[in-house]
Amino acid sequence: MLLAAASSVIAQRPMNTSICDYYTTALLKDNNATNQYTLLTLVVNTAVIGNYTKPNVGIAVPGILSPGIYNGTQVNLVGYFNGGLASSNTGGSMGVSKNFLDDGGASPLMMDKPANGTMSNQ
Amino acid sequence: MGLDAMQMGYFIQQVGLAAASFGVTDDDVMAVGTTLTNAFDKRCAAATSIPPTADPALQAICIASNCPLADNATCSAYGNATMPAVANATLAGNSTTSGGSGSSGSGSGSSSDSGGSGSGSRSSSGSGSSSGSSTASGSSSSSTSSSDAVRNYGSVVAIVGAAALAFAL
């Protein structure tokens, strides 16, 4: 990955610096639009599929696509992403089923891409 | 997407954990979690512009009765938003919820967090509130339309937008 080596301890963010600006600089050095997008991609992809890249300061992320437990309750969100539930709003009066993992699933996410192609739901 | 407090809590927790895994401080993880909670995790939330340049729209994704009620709640605007139906039981697995009690459907889902190579994990301090059930303010509308948030949140692209919102503050 394209990350500069980051220490595992990041100092407190100054109050007049946004989260986006601060962590883009801390992790990727240059605070430009490309790097801000990269930072978001890393965080979002990790949130979706779990840890897959560096740096990782030692926090395990199961990911939104993994079943888990929250406050003692079993949770499984995968049906909202693979079309299992009629949970998408395409403008009608009822939810419809859409598979948002129809273009590579986790594999392109692990390469910091949203999907293999550009024309899919994913 | 119509979710209950446990599902939303888990979702927001994963975003917080992901940020923390890159070294984001606890204070900032909490800020991100709070932003997501206030924007999407309050039942009947009034129409809001997300991002600020967009038209106001109904953003609440947590629609079950165990979701905390928003300040300035506008439940009638959401009509009779219902939890999504199962389209494919095999794909849905145990994703369905009862909609009100906060427990997911019966199933054989794994009961332990998997993945990650860290030495121990900690729960995000930014996860949305989910304890207790809020008083249900029943909607009298018979419409079955889902909230606008479904359109906003039904794709990974929209999730990027939500995370961008949290990080842009």
Among A42-51, B42-51, B113-122, name the most confident range.
A42-51
pLDDT tens by residue, B33-62: 999 999 999 999 999 999 999 999 889 888
Largest CA distance in chain B: 51
Check A79 against B18: CB less than 8 A apart.
no
Question: Per DSSP, what are the bridge partners of residue B104?
Answer: B97
pLDDT of residue B81: 77
CA dihedral A47, B28, B5, A107 (to 10 degrees): 0
Identify the weakest region by mean pLDDT among A74-78, B16-20, B162-166.
B162-166
Calpha distance A80→B99 (Å, rounded)? 15
Task: For chain B, give the mean pLDDT.
Answer: 67
Check A79 against B96: CB less than 8 A apart.
yes
Nearest to A6 among B3, B23, B145 (CB): B23
Task: Indicate the pairing of strand A85-86 with strand A73-75.
Answer: unpaired
A50 interaction partners in chain B (CB closer than 8 Å)? 114-116
pLDDT of residue B146: 37
Q: Does A26 have pLDDT greater than 90?
A: yes
B168 interaction partners in chain A (CB closer than 8 Å)? 18-20
Residue A105 CB neighbour total at 10 angstroms: 18
A96 interaction partners in chain B (CB closer than 8 Å)? 87
Calpha distance B36→A39 (Å, rounded)? 18
Residues 6+ apart with CB under 8 A from B65: B43, B99, B100, B133, B134, B136
Cβ atoms of residues B130 and B5 within 8 Å:
yes
Q: Does B133 have pLDDT greater than 60?
A: no
In chain A, pLDDT over 70 holds for what percent of residues? 93
Check A57 against B167: CB less than 8 A apart.
no
User: Averaged over B61-75, what is the pLDDT?
Assistant: 89
Confidence category of residue A111, pLDDT binned at 50, 70, 90: very high
Give the residue from chain A lying closest to B115, CA to CA: A62
Calpha distance B26→B17 (Å, rounded)? 10
Q: How many CB pairs under 8 A join A and B?
A: 256
Instruction: Say what angle helices B26-40 and B156-168 make with each other, to 10 degrees.
Output: 120
pLDDT of residue A87: 87
Calpha distance A61→B11 (Å, rounded)? 11
> Which of A17, A40, A44, A100 has the highest number of chain B CBs within 10 A, making it the mutation to test binding with B?
A44
The 3-state secondary structure of B3-58 reads: ECHHHHHHHHHHHHHHHHHCCCCHHHHHHHHHHHHHHHCCECCCCECCCCCCCCEC
pLDDT of residue B140: 34
pLDDT of residue A10: 76
> Which of A49, A80, A102 has the highest number of chain B CBs within 10 A, making it the mutation to test binding with B?
A80
Question: Per DSSP, what are the bridge partners of residue B7?
Answer: none
Q: Does B22 have pLDDT greater than 60?
A: yes
pLDDT tens by residue, B79-114: 877 788 888 888 887 765 544 333 333 333 333 333
Q: Does B141 have pLDDT greater than 80?
A: no
> Which of B6, B12, B15, B22 has the highest number of chain A CBs within 10 A, making it the mutation to test binding with A?
B22
Q: Is the pTM of this model over 0.80?
A: no
Q: Does A108 have pLDDT greater than 70?
A: yes
B86 interaction partners in chain A (CB closer than 8 Å)? 79, 84-86
Q: Which residue has the higher pLDDT, B111 or B15?
A: B15
3-class SS at B122? coil
Q: Does A37 have pLDDT greater than 80?
A: yes
Nearest to A98 among B115, B147, B154 (CB): B154
Check A86 against B147: CB less than 8 A apart.
no
pLDDT of residue A120: 92
Task: For chain A, give the mean pLDDT.
Answer: 89
